Chain A
Amino acid sequence: DGGITQSPKYLFRKEGQNVTLSCEQNLNHDAMYWYRQDPGQGLRLIYYSQIVNDFQKGDIAEGYSVSREKKESFPLTVTSAQKNPTAFYLCASSIAGHGHDQPQHFGDGTRLSIL
Protein backbone atom coordinates (compact mmCIF):
# COMPACT_ATOMS: atom_id res chain seq x y z
CA ASP A 1 0.00 0.00 0.00
CA GLY A 2 1.17 3.51 -0.71
CA GLY A 3 1.83 5.81 2.17
CA ILE A 4 4.22 7.88 4.23
CA THR A 5 6.60 6.31 6.71
CA GLN A 6 8.14 8.33 9.50
CA SER A 7 10.86 6.98 11.73
CA PRO A 8 11.58 6.65 14.51
CA LYS A 9 8.25 6.91 16.30
CA TYR A 10 9.97 8.21 19.46
CA LEU A 11 13.26 10.08 19.61
CA PHE A 12 15.25 11.55 22.45
CA ARG A 13 17.78 14.32 22.07
CA LYS A 14 20.53 15.37 24.40
CA GLU A 15 21.40 19.00 24.87
CA GLY A 16 23.59 20.31 22.05
CA GLN A 17 22.88 17.35 19.79
CA ASN A 18 21.52 17.34 16.26
CA VAL A 19 18.96 14.67 15.42
CA THR A 20 17.45 13.66 12.09
CA LEU A 21 13.88 12.55 11.53
CA SER A 22 13.19 10.35 8.56
CA CYS A 23 10.27 10.70 6.14
CA GLU A 24 9.79 8.40 3.15
CA GLN A 25 6.81 8.26 0.78
CA ASN A 26 5.89 5.88 -2.02
CA LEU A 27 2.92 7.88 -3.30
CA ASN A 28 4.94 9.39 -6.14
CA HIS A 29 4.12 12.85 -4.79
CA ASP A 30 6.27 15.79 -5.81
CA ALA A 31 5.56 17.97 -2.77
CA MET A 32 6.55 17.17 0.80
CA TYR A 33 6.13 19.07 4.04
CA TRP A 34 7.24 19.07 7.66
CA TYR A 35 4.98 20.30 10.45
CA ARG A 36 5.46 20.76 14.13
CA GLN A 37 2.51 20.11 16.43
CA ASP A 38 2.29 21.48 19.96
CA PRO A 39 -0.74 21.15 22.24
CA GLY A 40 -3.28 23.88 21.59
CA GLN A 41 -1.38 25.32 18.63
CA GLY A 42 -2.44 23.16 15.74
CA LEU A 43 0.14 22.42 13.06
CA ARG A 44 2.84 24.86 12.06
CA LEU A 45 4.80 24.54 8.84
CA ILE A 46 8.57 24.14 9.21
CA TYR A 47 9.77 23.47 5.65
CA TYR A 48 8.29 22.34 2.39
CA SER A 49 9.59 21.09 -0.93
CA GLN A 50 7.79 21.13 -4.25
CA ILE A 51 10.44 19.28 -6.22
CA VAL A 52 13.69 17.41 -5.78
CA ASN A 53 16.69 19.57 -4.84
CA ASP A 54 14.46 22.50 -3.89
CA PHE A 55 12.88 23.46 -0.59
CA GLN A 56 11.49 26.55 1.09
CA LYS A 57 11.21 27.79 4.66
CA GLY A 58 7.85 27.67 6.33
CA ASP A 59 6.64 29.69 9.29
CA ILE A 60 9.02 28.31 11.93
CA ALA A 61 12.18 27.19 10.10
CA GLU A 62 14.73 28.53 12.61
CA GLY A 63 16.73 25.72 14.20
CA TYR A 64 15.76 23.18 11.53
CA SER A 65 17.27 22.03 8.25
CA VAL A 66 16.09 19.72 5.47
CA SER A 67 17.32 18.12 2.26
CA ARG A 68 15.50 16.73 -0.77
CA GLU A 69 17.95 14.61 -2.73
CA LYS A 70 15.35 12.04 -3.73
CA LYS A 71 11.69 12.36 -4.59
CA GLU A 72 10.76 9.77 -1.97
CA SER A 73 12.70 11.22 0.94
CA PHE A 74 12.55 14.47 2.92
CA PRO A 75 14.56 14.18 6.15
CA LEU A 76 14.35 16.87 8.82
CA THR A 77 17.30 17.72 11.07
CA VAL A 78 16.57 19.36 14.40
CA THR A 79 19.73 21.26 15.22
CA SER A 80 21.12 22.35 18.57
CA ALA A 81 19.99 25.86 17.65
CA GLN A 82 16.38 24.79 18.19
CA LYS A 83 15.99 25.61 21.86
CA ASN A 84 12.60 24.08 22.36
CA PRO A 85 12.50 20.96 20.18
CA THR A 86 10.11 18.88 22.26
CA ALA A 87 7.08 18.36 20.01
CA PHE A 88 5.28 15.98 17.70
CA TYR A 89 6.62 16.20 14.15
CA LEU A 90 4.48 15.32 11.16
CA CYS A 91 5.56 14.78 7.59
CA ALA A 92 3.11 15.12 4.72
CA SER A 93 3.09 14.89 0.95
CA SER A 94 0.82 15.95 -1.86
CA ILE A 95 0.53 16.20 -5.61
CA ALA A 96 2.23 19.45 -6.49
CA GLY A 97 0.42 22.01 -8.54
CA HIS A 98 -0.30 25.65 -8.97
CA GLY A 99 -3.46 25.54 -6.95
CA HIS A 100 -3.98 24.91 -3.28
CA ASP A 101 -6.59 22.26 -3.72
CA GLN A 102 -4.51 19.18 -3.27
CA PRO A 103 -5.06 17.38 0.03
CA GLN A 104 -1.99 16.44 1.99
CA HIS A 105 -1.36 12.91 3.17
CA PHE A 106 0.29 12.49 6.56
CA GLY A 107 2.65 10.07 8.21
CA ASP A 108 2.11 8.84 11.77
CA GLY A 109 4.57 11.28 13.27
CA THR A 110 7.71 11.30 15.39
CA ARG A 111 7.62 12.43 19.01
CA LEU A 112 10.84 14.18 19.98
CA SER A 113 11.77 14.74 23.60
CA ILE A 114 14.74 16.30 25.37
CA LEU A 115 16.78 14.17 27.77
Chain B
Amino acid sequence: AQSVTQPDIHITVSEGASLELRCNYSYGATPYLFWYVQSPGQGLQLLLKYFSGDTLVQGIKGFEAEFKRSQSSFNLRKPSVHWSDAAEYFCAVGGRYGGATNKLIFGTGTLLAVQP
Protein backbone atom coordinates (compact mmCIF):
# COMPACT_ATOMS: atom_id res chain seq x y z
CA ALA B 1 0.00 0.00 0.00
CA GLN B 2 1.10 3.51 -0.68
CA SER B 3 2.22 5.62 2.25
CA VAL B 4 4.10 8.80 3.04
CA THR B 5 6.19 9.47 6.12
CA GLN B 6 7.34 12.85 7.31
CA PRO B 7 9.59 12.02 10.26
CA ASP B 8 9.82 15.55 11.64
CA ILE B 9 6.65 16.86 13.27
CA HIS B 10 8.14 20.23 14.13
CA ILE B 11 11.29 22.06 12.97
CA THR B 12 12.67 25.42 14.01
CA VAL B 13 15.26 27.26 11.93
CA SER B 14 16.76 30.72 12.07
CA GLU B 15 15.92 33.21 9.38
CA GLY B 16 18.54 33.02 6.64
CA ALA B 17 19.52 29.46 7.49
CA SER B 18 19.09 26.57 5.09
CA LEU B 19 16.17 24.17 5.37
CA GLU B 20 15.57 20.53 4.56
CA LEU B 21 12.27 18.80 5.25
CA ARG B 22 12.26 15.05 4.95
CA CYS B 23 9.75 12.88 3.14
CA ASN B 24 9.85 9.12 2.56
CA TYR B 25 7.31 7.28 0.50
CA SER B 26 6.24 3.74 -0.18
CA TYR B 27 4.88 3.05 -3.63
CA GLY B 28 5.16 0.07 -5.93
CA ALA B 29 5.68 1.90 -9.19
CA THR B 30 7.09 5.22 -10.33
CA PRO B 31 5.64 7.70 -7.89
CA TYR B 32 4.13 11.06 -8.57
CA LEU B 33 5.27 13.27 -5.71
CA PHE B 34 4.11 16.63 -4.47
CA TRP B 35 4.94 19.17 -1.78
CA TYR B 36 2.23 21.47 -0.47
CA VAL B 37 2.39 24.34 2.02
CA GLN B 38 -0.39 25.42 4.36
CA SER B 39 -0.53 28.71 6.25
CA PRO B 40 -2.67 28.78 9.41
CA GLY B 41 -6.39 28.62 8.65
CA GLN B 42 -5.79 28.36 4.93
CA GLY B 43 -5.94 25.72 2.26
CA LEU B 44 -2.96 23.96 0.72
CA GLN B 45 -0.82 25.54 -1.97
CA LEU B 46 1.24 23.44 -4.37
CA LEU B 47 4.97 24.14 -4.06
CA LEU B 48 6.31 21.66 -6.60
CA LYS B 49 5.75 18.27 -8.17
CA TYR B 50 7.81 15.41 -9.57
CA PHE B 51 6.58 13.14 -12.32
CA SER B 52 9.66 11.99 -14.21
CA GLY B 53 12.92 13.21 -15.69
CA ASP B 54 15.30 15.42 -13.80
CA THR B 55 15.34 14.32 -10.20
CA LEU B 56 15.89 17.86 -8.90
CA VAL B 57 12.73 19.89 -9.31
CA GLN B 58 12.29 23.59 -8.76
CA GLY B 59 9.18 25.07 -7.25
CA ILE B 60 7.72 28.36 -6.20
CA LYS B 61 9.03 30.61 -3.42
CA GLY B 62 12.61 29.40 -3.92
CA PHE B 63 11.96 25.79 -2.90
CA GLU B 64 13.40 22.72 -4.56
CA ALA B 65 13.13 19.00 -3.96
CA GLU B 66 15.23 16.03 -4.94
CA PHE B 67 13.81 12.63 -5.82
CA LYS B 68 16.06 9.75 -4.74
CA ARG B 69 14.65 6.43 -5.83
CA SER B 70 17.25 4.39 -3.95
CA GLN B 71 16.24 6.03 -0.69
CA SER B 72 12.51 6.38 -1.47
CA SER B 73 12.84 10.01 -0.51
CA PHE B 74 11.65 13.35 -1.80
CA ASN B 75 13.15 15.94 0.52
CA LEU B 76 12.27 19.61 0.27
CA ARG B 77 15.02 22.21 0.51
CA LYS B 78 15.50 25.94 0.58
CA PRO B 79 18.92 27.60 0.80
CA SER B 80 17.82 30.60 2.88
CA VAL B 81 14.62 30.65 4.89
CA HIS B 82 12.48 33.79 5.25
CA TRP B 83 10.15 34.51 8.17
CA SER B 84 7.20 34.20 5.76
CA ASP B 85 8.08 30.54 5.19
CA ALA B 86 6.72 29.63 8.63
CA ALA B 87 3.87 27.24 7.85
CA GLU B 88 3.02 23.55 7.73
CA TYR B 89 4.43 21.50 4.89
CA PHE B 90 2.88 18.35 3.48
CA CYS B 91 4.43 15.76 1.24
CA ALA B 92 2.03 13.69 -0.88
CA VAL B 93 2.22 10.80 -3.32
CA GLY B 94 -0.23 10.31 -6.17
CA GLY B 95 -1.79 6.89 -6.09
CA ARG B 96 -4.40 4.69 -7.64
CA TYR B 97 -7.58 4.27 -5.66
CA GLY B 98 -10.27 1.85 -6.77
CA GLY B 99 -9.59 2.60 -10.42
CA ALA B 100 -8.59 5.64 -12.38
CA THR B 101 -8.47 8.64 -10.14
CA ASN B 102 -6.04 11.05 -8.66
CA LYS B 103 -5.95 10.13 -5.03
CA LEU B 104 -3.30 11.90 -3.04
CA ILE B 105 -1.87 10.23 0.03
CA PHE B 106 -0.57 12.82 2.45
CA GLY B 107 2.05 12.71 5.12
CA THR B 108 1.18 14.04 8.56
CA GLY B 109 2.96 17.30 7.93
CA THR B 110 5.97 19.19 9.29
CA LEU B 111 5.37 22.44 11.11
CA LEU B 112 8.12 24.95 10.39
CA ALA B 113 8.88 27.78 12.79
CA VAL B 114 11.33 30.53 11.82
CA GLN B 115 13.30 32.38 14.47
CA PRO B 116 14.37 35.97 13.82
Chain A: residues with CB nearer than 8 A to chain B?
Answer: 4, 6, 31, 40-43, 45, 48, 50, 56, 58, 90, 92, 94, 96-109, 111
B90: CB under 8 A from chain A? yes
B46 to A56, Cβ gap below 8 A?
Answer: no
Interface string of B95-116 (1 = CB under 8 A from A): 1111011111011110000000
Instruction: Name B's A-contacting residues (CB within 8 A).
Output: 9, 32, 34, 36, 41-46, 49, 51, 90, 94-98, 100-104, 106-109
In the assembled complex, the CB of B38 is this many whole angstroms from the nearest CB of chain A, namely: 8
Bound form: Cα–Cα A19–B51 in Å: 38
Instruction: Check if A105 sits within 8 Å of B108, measured CB to CB.
Output: no
Which residues on B sit within 8 Å (CB–CB) of A98?
A: 100
* Contact partner, B101, options A92, A100, A106, Cβ 8 Å: A100
A106 touches B102 (CB 8 A): no
Given A101-B94, A105-B46, 10 more contacts at CB 8 Å?
A: A42-B109, A43-B90, A92-B43, A97-B102, A99-B32, A99-B100, A100-B32, A100-B104, A104-B102, A107-B43
